[in-house]
């Protein structure tokens, strides 16, 4: 195997590594996929942005309604109390809902689940979110205190923020991407994106008498390559299609006789039929390196 | 078998066309459920739901074994997952869940951390005793214990008149300006105290040591304040000013510390279970306690905001504070039916 193939195999292994067994009472494994740290961070940024926007709107409203005698006070109270209440109850409130996800989490398609497969209880949601105070808002306080007062130098407050922020990076150091809050609450954050029911690429009833591949020509690929081909066909990007078609033609030694798309669709259909027939006989060929 | 032209008895596309209708129907029902409540569904639709859920799970199993259509498998997986969490997610009505929390779960969780509660309460009292005795013997110590923004001018150097005005006695301080300043100060104190409580829970993660330090520190601040007022002969009045909301607030602070300590203890001594399970178990108990703490802090905040301004009689303040304390104690610890 060359370097590219090794990297490829590593990528497949990493993907499989993200899957966690999650067996329903009916005995089916849902194979939940752990959400990546990038998704988690994106969700957090969206949520914090929404909270700050909400507070800004609230302040503007208060200033607009208030007669202006103690506008500064009202604004101060809104930010003090509002930010505290919002940051505490925003996450808890939304995660207690039917979809167990804040708006940010919904946007990136992830949700909270109980690790043991049971229902997500209110105490778990509250426990996992109160820890945020330690992970995010304590470092922010350090920065704020450093900026507001001259008690400590910039270096000290930055060091304090960095030190407390390390708690927030806890999720990078375990395979299940658990925050400290997840650890305490017994929860996971998993991918819960919705997949539309797409059309079946193999079901297209195009005449393909002209394009018949021999068993030897179909025998060079496995499931992994088939599903990569499916992805290419669904995305339908001209350059990618041309590249893939050229690669397959070289591999099986076919002349460049028909249009790339027709060629790939026919090849996909017949390769899938062949591999699915194998499945029925209990043979699953993972990729092109696996023996027939 | 290379050129088998006979259509096979089973094919992935036939499988799909046979069952596609069920999936689409399930998807539609789930979407409606996620948007609104179960009430928007008719009886027939509700009865269809578990049937469709099982059909989807069975489709998923078949698809995994026979189909190589990635998009199809992904769709079925996400559909099955949504269905699972909706059907198994909530097993009782929201009202019943809420009622059970108040009648059973909350007091039971607080009872479960009784050892930690005693430890934290002793630590807090120790803090009060330390700073009181030190500040009483040398007022300069006050500034070591109480941060300036929390003191709000209530230092050992302040006059007895000023101190009296801060606890709502004597001549009313002049008008609007001070009043608005006070409301900002009260808001600041409320958010500060709530944050400290949440923090002392969250810090339980570090084996509970920072939790204990934080509670001790809270005791230090309190003791120093007490010493200042007691030194000016205002000890009883300050006690009343504190008691009206303080019994609830301090109790909540102690409980939050106890919840944090429980997590730290579970980490150090997981018992029969492995550390991860023990931690999750402790976390759930602590989580329930923390819901209670938040409710108690809200009560304390309301008392602090309104009760303390409206009620200025020291005896009544003591009466309210004492009644509340007894009420909380009875609610948590009084024996009742169904208690283990």
Q: Is residue A176 part of a domain?
A: yes
At A211-228, the pLDDT tens digits run 788 888 888 888 888 889
CA angle, corner B320, sides to B315 and B323, nearest 5?
Answer: 120
Domain co-membership, A176 together with A58: yes
The confidence band for B329, taking pLDDT boundaries of 50, 70 and 90, is very high
Other CB atoms closer than 10 Å to residue B20's CB: what's the count? 14
Q: What pLDDT score does B52 carry? A: 93
Using a CB-CB distance cutoff of 8 angstroms, which residues of chain A are in contact with residue B60? 28
Most trustworthy range by pLDDT among A63-77, A101-115, A246-260, B7-21? A101-115
The whole-number pLDDT of residue B177 equals: 42
Question: Are A124 and A162 contained in the same domain?
Answer: yes
Domain contains A264: yes
The backbone torsions φ and ψ at residue A23, rounded to the nearest 5 degrees and listed phi first, read -95, 125
Rg from Cα positions in chain B: 30
Q: In the Cβ-directed half-sphere of B265, how many Cα atoms lie within 13 Å? A: 19
Number of domains chain A is built from: 2
> Do B205 and A131 count as a contact with CB atoms less than 8 A apart?
yes
Q: What is the mean pLDDT of chain B?
A: 81
B13 touches chain A (CB under 8 A): yes
- pLDDT over 70, % of chain B: 85
Give the domain-ending residue among A142, A173, A191: A191
Residues 142-161 of B with CB under 8 A from A: none
Distances (CA, A) of B217 to A278, B75, B116, B123: 70, 55, 17, 9
CA B168 from centroid of its chain's CA atoms: 31
| Section A97-109 average pLDDT | 87
B201 Cβ under 8 Å from any chain A Cβ: yes
Q: Looking at the structure, tell me whether residues A144 and A219 fall in a common domain.
A: no
Do A148 and A43 share a domain, yes or no?
A: yes
B252-261 pLDDT per residue, tens: 999 999 999 9
Lowest mean pLDDT segment, chosen from A3-12, A45-54, B46-55, B329-338 = A3-12
Interior/surface letters A231-241, b for 16+ CB within 10 angstroms, e for the rest:
ebbeeeeeeeb
- In angstroms, how far is CA B193 from the centroid of its own chain? 14
Both A253 and A163 in one domain: the answer is no
Residues A175, A114 share a domain: yes
Looking at residue B171, its pLDDT comes to 41
| pLDDT tens digit sequence for B72-97 | 888 999 999 888 888 876 555 667 77
Quick one: A142 and A222 in the same domain? no
The reported pLDDT for the residue numbered B178 is 47
Query: Domain boundary at A167, A191, A215, which?
Result: A191
CA max distance for chain B:
104
pLDDT tens figures, B204-238: 888 888 889 888 988 888 888 888 888 887 878 88
Same domain as A161, residue A92 = yes
- Tell me if chain A has a CB within 8 Å of the CB of B297: no
Mutate which of A35, A111, A130 to disrupt the B interface (most B C-beta within 10 Å)?
A130
B52 touches chain A (CB under 8 A): no
**Which residues in chain B are contacts of A202 at CB distance < 8 A?**
12-13, 69
- Confirm if B226 and B141 have CB atoms less than 8 A apart: no
Helix (H) or strand (E) holding A190: strand A187-191
Say if the Cβ atoms of B71 and A203 lie within 8 Å: no
Q: What is the pTM of this model?
A: 0.76
B57 CB neighbours in chain A (<8 A) are: 24, 26, 28
Question: Is A96 found in the same domain as A55?
Answer: yes
Q: Is residue A14 part of a domain?
A: no
The reply to whether A71 and A186 lie within a common domain is yes
Instruction: Give the closest-approach CA distance of B316 to chain A in angstroms.
Output: 29
Residues A28 and A160 in one domain: yes
Q: Per the domain annotation, does A10 fall within a domain?
A: no
Span B167-195, pLDDT tens digits:
665 444 444 444 555 666 667 777 777 88
Q: Residue A265: what pLDDT?
A: 87
Q: How far is CA A39 from CA A22, A34, A207, in A?
A: 21, 10, 44
What per-residue confidence (pLDDT) applies to A205?
A: 58
Residues in contact with B75: Cβ distance below 8 Å, sequence separation at least 6, in sequence order: A195, A196, A197, A198, B23
Contacts of A119 in chain B (CB under 8 A): 88-91
Tokens of B69: 């259509």
Q: Per-residue pLDDT averaged across A266-287, rounded?
A: 86
Extract the tokens encoding A19. 């899957």
Give the distance from residue A22's alpha carbon to the nearest chain B alpha carbon, in angstroms.
Answer: 10
Contacts of A73 in chain B (CB under 8 A): 180-181, 183-184
- Same structural domain, A184 and A219: no
Which residue of A123, A227, A276 is in closest CB contact with B288?
A123
Report pLDDT for B99: 81
Question: Crossing angle of helices B175-202/A122-130, nearest 10°?
Answer: 110
Task: Return the pLDDT at B2.
Answer: 43
pLDDT at A192: 85
Say if residue A69 is exposed, middle or buried (CB neighbours under 10 Å; 0-12, 13-18, 19+). exposed
CB-CB neighbors (< 8 A) of A231 in chain B: 70
Among A191, A218, A234, give the residue marking a domain's end.
A191
In the stretch 25-44 of chain B, residues with CB closer than 8 A to chain A read 27, 33-34
**What is the nearest CA distance from B6 to chain A, expressed in angstroms?**
13
Residue A32's domain spans which residues? 20-191
Q: How far is CA B294 from CA A67, B196, B226, B243, in A?
A: 33, 12, 26, 19
């Amino acid at each position: 195997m060359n370097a590219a193939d090794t990297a490829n195999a590593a990528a497949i292994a990493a993907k499989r590594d993200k899957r966690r067994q999650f067996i329903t009472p009916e005995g089916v494994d849902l194979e939940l996929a752990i959400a990546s740290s990038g998704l988690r961070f994106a969700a957090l940024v969206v949520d914090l942005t929404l909270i700050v926007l909400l507070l800004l709107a609230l302040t503007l409203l208060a200033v607009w309604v208030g007669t202006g005698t103690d506008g500064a006070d009202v604004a101060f109270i809104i930010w003090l109390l509002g930010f505290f209440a919002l940051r505490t109850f925003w996450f808890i409130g939304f995660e207690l809902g039917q979809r167990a996800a804040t708006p940010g989490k919904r946007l990136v398609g992830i949700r909270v689940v109980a690790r043991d497969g049971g229902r997500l209880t209110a105490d778990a949601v509250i426990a996992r979110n109160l820890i945020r105070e330690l992970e995010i808002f304590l470092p922010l306080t350090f920065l704020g205190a450093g900026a507001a007062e001259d008690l400590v130098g910039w270096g000290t407050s930055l060091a304090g923020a960095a030190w407390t922020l390390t708690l927030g990076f806890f999720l990078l150091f375990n395979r299940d991407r658990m925050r400290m809050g997840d650890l305490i609450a017994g929860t996971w954050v998993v991918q819960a994106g919705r997949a539309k029911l797409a059309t079946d690429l193999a079901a297209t009833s195009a005449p393909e008498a002209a394009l018949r591949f021999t068993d030897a020509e179909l025998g060079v690929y496995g499931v992994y390559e088939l599903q990569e081909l499916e992805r290419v066909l669904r995305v339908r990007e001209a350059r990618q299609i041309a590249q893939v078609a050229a690669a397959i033609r070289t591999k099986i030694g076919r002349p460049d006789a028909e249009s790339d798309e027709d060629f790939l669709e026919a090849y996909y259909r017949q390769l899938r039929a062949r591999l699915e027939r194998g499945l029925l006989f209990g043979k699953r060929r993972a990729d092109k390196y696996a023996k027939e | 078998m290379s050129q088998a032209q006979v259509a096979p008895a089973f094919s992935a596309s036939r499988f799909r066309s046979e069952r596609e209708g069920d999936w689409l129907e399930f998807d539609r029902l789930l979407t409606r459920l996620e948007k609104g409540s179960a009430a928007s569904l008719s009886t027939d639709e509700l009865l269809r739901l578990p049937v469709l859920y099982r059909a989807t799970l069975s489709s998923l199993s078949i698809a995994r074994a026979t189909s190589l259509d990635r998009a199809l498998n992904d769709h079925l997986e996400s559909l099955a997952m949504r269905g699972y969490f909706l059907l198994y997610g909530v097993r009782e009505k929201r009202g019943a869940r809420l009622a059970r929390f108040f009648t059973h779960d909350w007091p039971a969780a607080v009872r479960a951390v009784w050892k930690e509660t005693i430890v934290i309460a002793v630590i807090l009292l120790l803090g009060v005793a330390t700073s009181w005795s030190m500040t009483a013997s040398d007022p300069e110590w006050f500034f070591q214990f109480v941060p300036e923004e929390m003191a709000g001018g209530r230092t050992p150097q302040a006059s007895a008149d000023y101190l009296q005005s801060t606890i709502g006695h004597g001549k009313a301080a002049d008008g609007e300006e001070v009043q608005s300043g006070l409301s900002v100060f009260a808001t600041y104190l409320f958010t500060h105290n709530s944050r400290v409580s949440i923090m002392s829970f969250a810090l339980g993660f570090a084996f509970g040591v920072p939790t204990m330090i934080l509670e001790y520190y809270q005791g230090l601040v309190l003791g120093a304040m007490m010493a200042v007022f007691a030194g000016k002969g205002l000890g009883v009045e300050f006690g009343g000013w504190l008691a009206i909301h303080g019994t609830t607030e301090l109790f909540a602070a102690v409980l939050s510390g106890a919840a944090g300590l429980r997590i730290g203890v579970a980490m150090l001594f997981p018992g029969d279970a492995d550390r991860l399970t023990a931690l999750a178990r402790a976390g759930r108990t602590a989580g329930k306690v923390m819901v209670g703490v938040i409710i108690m802090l809200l009560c304390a905040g309301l008392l602090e905001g309104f009760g303390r301004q409206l009620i200025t009689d020291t005896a009544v303040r003591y009466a309210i504070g004492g009644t509340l304390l007894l009420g909380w104690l009875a609610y948590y610890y009084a024996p009742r039916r169904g208690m283990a």
